[in-house]
Chains A and B, each alone.
Chain A
Amino acid sequence: MKKKSIQKILLGLILPILIVVAWFLATNYGNIPSGILPTITKVKDSFQELVHTGTLQKDLLVSFGRVVKGFLMASLLGGVLGSVMGMFEPVRDLFAPIITVVRQIPIIAWIPLIILWCGIGEVSKVVIIVIAAFFQVLVNTESGISGTPGKYVEVAQLYKLSPWETFSKVYLPHAIPQILVGLKLALSVSWMAVVASEMLAATSGIGYRMSNARSMMRADIVIVCMIIIGIVGIVMDRLIGWLFGLLTPWQKYEKKEK
């Protein structure tokens, strides 16, 4: 078992190592201008410089603040509407068609209209994140709630639970695993949306830092930002995964059963 997991890690490391080696060889022995692909040492130096001056922390904090605001608002809106849609069929029939259509529009396609409506300030970024994350939470919440087996709802009827109690004791716990999947996806698209919107129109944030670096041919800073974006994404993903285990303690036994 342990041997297998070590083998798994080693296999997973092969490609990253090859990429780094190729990068090293290309920049040290090839003839590639540093504006296109800087050396690894240059990227490392830029990283240290960005941390030292505090630019990176400031950018991250700005972007992160936007993500948190947008993500929380989208979760609340999507969670509430998704729950109501999941529990009451007429509400579902009312909203489902338009949501299915609007969902198909890529988030990038929203950006021009949002900038026209909300300008290029703080509001537009948060609105873009809300739109991106909202549908992920909504669709997954709705599907988790409406998928609650009738046999459990019948038990709630038998014990005359109020609609709120039926929701909190039967529908919601059943939907939690899927709601968390929705939150995970929502957080990931929020992060993508904030970078995208900052690259198009912003004066701060990690996306702005990248687009600014590009205009100054600083590929080293672009790469630093890309690596940081990837790392933050993984950390947030893991955080939700940890929350998953915390909120659904019964699930680990069910998996064992199968």
Chain B
Amino acid sequence: MTESREIEKNSEKDFIINIEHLNKKFIVDKQPLDVLKNINLQVRKGEFITIVGHSGCGKSTLLKIICGLVGYEDGVVERNGHAVVGPGPKCGMVFQEHRLLPWLKIKDNVGFGLKDLSKEEREVNVKKHLELVGLAGFENSYPAQLSGGMSQRAAIARGLANNPTILLLDEPFGALDALTRIQMQKEILSIQEKENTTMVMVTHDIDEAIYLGDRVVVMSARPGEIKDIITTDPIESKSRGSATFASYKKTIYSYFFEDSQEDYEVEYNI
């Protein structure tokens, strides 16, 4: 009994992100609006978590709370065992739009958060991360000279540059075409394997969520609640044609279909 408790305690320590009973309200037109309701999520070191849900279900808000850009009033949010009070260098974020600063060259954008390094160290770091995302040689280009996919790679390089233990990705491939998107998915997986970064990615693409996630968090909309967390098979989920992949897809679809079925019934009554 005592032994199992100890193991539990140890594994708790391994949680790099710990969210318990998180509630978040926004005030819209002086009316409180529930954005997130009773979110409980524990993420282990090196895990890849994907979050799927309707747009407006509070997925992005959840990420911003984890990285400290948005505050929370109710519940527990911890990174590395410490309550989140604001942004920190060990937690990077990649946004849906690349958000590269148009006036900085790619090397300065990637090195944007590297304040404490010497010039040489910065250069080495930036070079390494540009190589990692396949953008070597574009150091002196401006963001406007890059394509959408390349800009997003540069944004990922910026997110990784100060070696964060956690990288949060907010629909980073949402604006890319289908082919680039699949290529980027492969690359982000290989980067995660190389760097062993814990990643939490928000997406509305169910295939992407299954392919990338070690666990897929399914969220409902308004207020955002976790409906289910599906642990995927590490091998089967990487093969998009497999029966297991299809069954995951079916399970996830069923959650969203359940929501919409109510709408159909209402329509029938009219």
Contacts and interface: CB of A to CB of B under 8 A. Distances in A.
Interface of A: 151-152, 154-155, 157-161, 165, 169-170, 173-174, 176, 248-250, 253-254, 256-257
Given A155-B112, A256-B144, A248 B103 contact: yes
Nearest to B162: A159
Given A174-B103, A250-B102, A158 B87 contact: yes
Given A159-B87, A253-B145, A257-B144, A170 B69 contact: no
Nearest to B155: A155
Interface stretch (B9-17, B33-41, B92-100, B231-239): B92-100
Interface string B102-144: 1110000000110100000000000000000000000000111
Nearest to B101: A152
Interface secondary structure of B, over-half rule: loop
A228 B94 CA distance: 56
B226 interface: no
B268 to A, nearest CB: 43
Contact of B113 (A152, A159, A248, A254): A159
Nearest to B100: A155
B101 A169 contact: yes
B103 A158 contact: no
A170 B84 CA distance: 25
Contacts of A158: 67, 69, 87, 92-93, 113
8 contacts: A151-B95, A154-B99, A157-B87, A170-B101, A248-B103, A250-B102, A250-B103, A250-B104
Contacts, number: 53
B149 to A, nearest CB: 15
A254 B144 contact: yes
A180 to B, nearest CB: 13
B56 interface: no
Contacts of A170: 101
Interface residues of B, number: 22
A171 to B, nearest CB: 11
A161 B114 CA distance: 10
Contact of B99 (A155, A160, A256): A155
B89 interface: yes
A159 B112 contact: yes
Nearest to A170: B101
Contact of A254 (B97, B102, B112): B102
Nearest to B143: A250
Contacts of A173: 101, 103-104
Contact of A160 (B89, B92, B97, B104): B89
Contacts of A169: 101, 104, 112
A192 B53 CA distance: 61
A52 B196 CA distance: 79
B71 interface: no
Contacts of A157: 69, 87
Interface in B38-74: 67, 69
Contacts of B113: 158-159
Contacts of A155: 99, 101, 112
A142 B89 CA distance: 31
Contacts of A165: 115
B86 interface: yes
A249 B145 CA distance: 12
Contacts of A254: 102, 144
Contacts of B89: 159-160
